[in-house]
């Protein structure tokens, strides 16, 4: 009977190895193809016999990849900071005070993820055009400067914060903003880190809104750069894989360093 508990490790290992290979093989194939010289693209050995950086040089010639990566970094970093600031302020309002309309505000924030982007894309596009935000990084950040997820995670974290400490700060004459920054915020490292990771990665990978907004390659972010590239260079697989590898590299590096935190922050968010 006790053997049952160990649930037959060999078969468990086999299942996990199968799933791991399935998950990692496409990424591996992307990287190895990117190092293949032109005449070796279609061979099926697991590693190129004569690895080369030619594809990477070619990518740099065809598109301003480093400028695009820098744009993407700026956009993702700005979005992250904005979501944390707006999230902190909103969560603090909902935790610190009970006030008429508070529940309504809470539900408006919580339900916003139910509205599919495709439903509001036309009004959003028209508004962005009116505000002269087309083809700009600001335009990519502004609509995403607040997110339900950030507010709700910070709200839950702040609710667990001992009320007496907040009261004591108020007795000492600290106003609500100072209490938030000096008393509450230092205890929110874990949720803030978790939101930062999740938000940075999803902003980096964001596709739909940049697709609508961006016209010129030099203002582009990397996902749209890849899209342009795929349409132009169609079947130059070495080139495409080199570009895709460069686009994924920053995220894969973050994952290598912060693996546990990355996995945890995604699990906390549900899926969105």
Partner 1 sequence: MTNAVFTLSAPARRLPRLKALEPWLYLAPALGILLVWIYIPLIEAFNLSFYQWNMLPRSQPRYVGLDNYANLLSLPDMHQAVINTVLYTIGLLPISVGVPLVVAILTAGLSGRLRNLYRSLIFVPMIVAPIVAAIVWRWLLNEDHGIVNVWLQSLGFDAVAFLNDPDVALWTLVWITGWKLIGFSTLLFAAADGAINASYIEAARMDGATRWQIIRDIRLPLLSPTILLLTMMTILFGAQWSFVYINALTGGGPLRSTTNVYFLMWDYGFKTMSAGWSTAAGIMVFCVFGLIAIACLALMKKFAVYDE
DSSP per-residue codes, 175-191: -HHHIIIIIIGGG-HHH
Based on the shown chain and the rule CB under 8 A, indicate whether residue 142 belongs to the binding site for partner 1.
yes
What is the spatial distance between Cα 169 and Cα 202, in angstroms, rounded to a whole number?
A: 36
Based on the shown chain and the rule CB under 8 A, indicate whether residue 148 belongs to the binding site for partner 1.
yes
Q: Which two tokens stand for residue 56?
A: 């990477």
Q: Which is nearer to partner 1, 58 or 93 (CB)?
A: 93
**Cβ at position 143, least distance to partner 1 in Å:** 4
Q: Which two tokens stand for residue 74?
A: 């700026």
* Residue span 96-115 as binding mask against partner 1, x where in contact by CB under 8 A, dash where not: xx-x-xx--x--xx--x-xx
178-199 b/e with 16+ CB inside 10 Å = b? ebbeebbeeebeebbebbbbbb
Q: Which is nearer to partner 1, 51 or 234 (CB)?
A: 234
Based on the shown chain and the rule CB under 8 A, indicate whether residue 257 belongs to the binding site for partner 1.
no
Based on the shown chain and the rule CB under 8 A, indicate whether residue 181 belongs to the binding site for partner 1.
no
Which of these segments, 10-18, 50-58, 59-67, 184-192, binds partner 1 (CB under 8 A)?
A: 10-18
CB 261 within 8 A of CB 200: no
List the one residue from 59, 63, 90, 195 that touches partner 1 (CB under 8 A): 90
The footprint of partner 1 on residues 48-67 (CB under 8 A) is none
- Interface size with partner 1, residues (CB under 8 A): 94
Based on the shown chain and the rule CB under 8 A, indicate whether residue 190 belongs to the binding site for partner 1.
no
Based on the shown chain and the rule CB under 8 A, indicate whether residue 169 belongs to the binding site for partner 1.
no
| Dihedral sign for Cα atoms in the order 153, 159, 160, 166 | positive
Based on the shown chain and the rule CB under 8 A, indicate whether residue 265 belongs to the binding site for partner 1.
no
HEC letters along 52-74: CCHHHHHHHHHCCHHHHHHHHHH
**Cβ at position 146, least distance to partner 1 in Å:** 4
Based on the shown chain and the rule CB under 8 A, indicate whether residue 192 belongs to the binding site for partner 1.
no
Based on the shown chain and the rule CB under 8 A, indicate whether residue 208 belongs to the binding site for partner 1.
yes
CB 185 within 8 A of CB 252: no
List the one residue from 136, 174, 230, 261 that touches partner 1 (CB under 8 A): 230
Based on the shown chain and the rule CB under 8 A, indicate whether residue 47 belongs to the binding site for partner 1.
no
Based on the shown chain and the rule CB under 8 A, indicate whether residue 37 belongs to the binding site for partner 1.
no
Which of these segments, 50-58, 132-140, 187-195, 230-238, binds partner 1 (CB under 8 A)?
A: 230-238
What is the spatial distance between Cα 250 and Cα 256, in angstroms, rounded to a whole number?
A: 10
From residue 68, how far is each of 60, 62, 63, 197, 271 by CA, in Å? Answer: 11, 12, 8, 21, 27
Based on the shown chain and the rule CB under 8 A, indicate whether residue 81 belongs to the binding site for partner 1.
no
* Residue 49, C-beta contacts closer than 8 angstroms, at least 6 positions apart: 40
Q: Which is nearer to partner 1, 186 or 231 (CB)?
A: 231
């Amino acid at each position: 009977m006790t053997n049952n508990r160990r649930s037959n490790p060999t078969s468990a290992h086999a299942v996990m190895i199968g799933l791991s290979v399935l998950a990692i093989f496409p990424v591996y194939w992307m990287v190895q193809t990117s190092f293949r010289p032109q005449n070796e693209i279609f061979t099926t050995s697991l590693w190129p016999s004569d690895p080369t950086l030619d594809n990477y040089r070619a990518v740099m010639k065809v598109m301003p990849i480093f400028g695009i990566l820098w744009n993407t970094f700026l956009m993702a970093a700005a979005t992250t900071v904005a979501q944390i600031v707006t999230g902190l302020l909103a969560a603090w309002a909902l935790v610190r005070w009970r006030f008429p309309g508070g529940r309504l505000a809470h539900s408006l924030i919580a339900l916003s993820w139910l509205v599919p982007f495709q439903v509001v894309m036309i009004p959003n596009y028209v508004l962005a055009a009116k505000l002269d935000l087309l083809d700009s990084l600001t335009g990519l950040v502004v609509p995403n400067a607040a997110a339900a997820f950030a507010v709700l995670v910070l709200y839950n974290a702040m609710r667990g914060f001992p009320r007496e400490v907040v009261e004591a700060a108020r007795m000492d004459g600290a106003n609500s903003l100072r209490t938030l920054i000096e008393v509450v915020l230092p205890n929110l490292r874990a949720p803030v880190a978790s939101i930062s990771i999740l938000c940075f990665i999803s902003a980096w990978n964001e596709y739909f809104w940049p697709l609508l907004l961006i016209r010129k390659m030099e203002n582009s972010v990397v996902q749209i750069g890849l899209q342009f590239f795929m349409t132009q260079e169609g079947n130059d697989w070495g080139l495409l894989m080199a570009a895709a590898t460069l686009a994924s590299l920053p995220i894969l590096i973050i994952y290598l360093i912060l693996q546990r935190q990355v996995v945890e922050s995604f699990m906390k968010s549900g899926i969105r």
